[in-house]
């Protein structure tokens, strides 16, 4: 990809492991042995929104097979113009915030500045509210969807030792059962608003489930990079869907 691994940021204060495990065309994850030893995996995602990928459905839910969140690239630091996807535009406020976040990471990694960082964060939310883009929480995030598709390749094509196989077909079966009994909208994935939907979707093709779900949610799949790129990627090989028209929803 055109992303610089040195800009990758994960879930912890130290970005070193995140970058180190995604260098030189190599992408490494810590996969669950339980999953790798299974011949059938049941994927049970929740139907809800997600700030970084638009939605949390079948493809995104596979972050759960990974055992170290800091090996999951969540965003790339900096603006799009700088080669990142942390925030759009070139706002001086956003650039200052990005710089301050990097300083905070260095301090917190050393166990310093915890109270100061908390105070600054509270002050920022008090001044700006919560409706601003940070940490790659927007539709221009180019990092997280790539990580999601990587993990799908891992699940479908890794052997019991976690080595990626060049097999002609998936080495294990995956059944997705999507829980939309109470869906989540708004500030997902952590603070969505519950919406009684009363829907349960199931299939062995994860992209087919996701396409049906986003239509149920009222989204345009072409505006969700995770789904758009999954359809366009001939090397993904976890789905038979190559075009949105391959999946039809009848009401």
Tell me if residue 72 falls in helix, strand or coil: coil
Joined tokens for residue 115: 């109270």
Residues forming beta bridges with residue 192, ordered by sequence position: 186
Report cis status (omega within 30 of 0) of the bond before 147. Answer: no
Least confident of 111-125, 171-185, 206-220: 111-125
Q: Which helix (H) or strand (E) holds 167?
A: none
Specify the higher pLDDT residue, 2 or 151: 151
Strand 173-187 vs strand 46-50: parallel, antiparallel, or unpaired?
parallel
User: What are the residues whose beta carbons fall under 8 Å from the beta carbon of 60, sequence distance 6 or more?
Assistant: 45, 50, 53, 148, 226
Query: Is the Cβ–Cβ distance between 88 and 138 less than 8 Å?
Result: yes
Would you call 39 helix, strand, or coil by DSSP? coil
242 pLDDT tier (thresholds 50, 70, 90): very high
Distance CA 124, CA 129 (A): 7
Q: In terms of Cα–Cα distance, which of 175, 210, 215, 179 is closest to 197?
A: 179
Average pLDDT over residues 225-243: 93
Q: Is the pLDDT higher at 200 or at 115?
A: 200
pLDDT at 123: 82
Task: Kindly state the tokens that stand for 231.
Answer: 């359809």
E-strand stretches of 68-121: 75-76
Residue partners of 247: CB distance under 8 A and separation at least 6: 207, 208, 211, 212, 241
Mean pLDDT in residue range 199-204 = 96
The share of the chain scoring above pLDDT 90, in percent, equals: 73
Mapped onto helix, strand or coil, the DSSP state of residue 142 is coil
Residue 155: φ, ψ to 5°:
-65, -45
Render pLDDT for 163-177 as a digit per residue (tens, 0 to 9): 888 888 999 999 999
Write the CA distances from 27 to 35, 41, 148, 169, integer angstroms. Answer: 18, 22, 12, 21
> Going by DSSP bridges, is the β-strand pair 40-43/173-187 parallel, antiparallel, or unpaired?
parallel
């Amino acid at each position: 990809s055109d992303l610089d691994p040195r800009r990758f940021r994960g879930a912890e204060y130290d970005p070193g492991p995140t970058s180190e495990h995604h260098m030189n065309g190599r992408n490494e994850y810590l996969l669950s042995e339980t999953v790798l030893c299974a011949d059938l995996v049941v994927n049970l995602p929740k139907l809800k929104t997600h700030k970084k990928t638009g939605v949390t459905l079948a493809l995104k839910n596979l972050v759960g097979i990974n055992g170290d969140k800091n090996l999951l690239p969540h965003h790339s630091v900096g603006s799009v113009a700088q080669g990142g996807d942390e925030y759009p535009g070139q706002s001086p406020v956003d650039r200052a915030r990005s710089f301050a976040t990097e300083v905070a990471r260095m301090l917190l990694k050393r166990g310093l500045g915890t109270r100061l960082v908390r105070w600054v964060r509270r002050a920022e939310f008090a001044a700006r509210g919560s409706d601003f883009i940070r940490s790659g929480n927007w539709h221009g995030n180019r990092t997280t969807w790539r990580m999601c598709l990587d993990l799908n390749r891992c699940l479908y094509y890794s052997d019991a030792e976690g080595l990626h196989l060049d097999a002609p077909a998936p080495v294990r079966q995956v059944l997705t059962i999507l829980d939309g009994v109470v869906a989540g909208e708004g500030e997902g994935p952590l603070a969505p608003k519950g919406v009684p939907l009363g829907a349960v979707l199931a299939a062995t093709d994860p992209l087919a489930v996701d396409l049906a779900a986003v239509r149920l949610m009222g989204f345009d799949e072409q505006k969700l990079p995770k789904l758009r790129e999954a359809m366009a990627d001939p090397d993904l090989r976890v789905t038979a869907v190559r075009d949105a028209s391959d999946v039809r929803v009848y009401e």
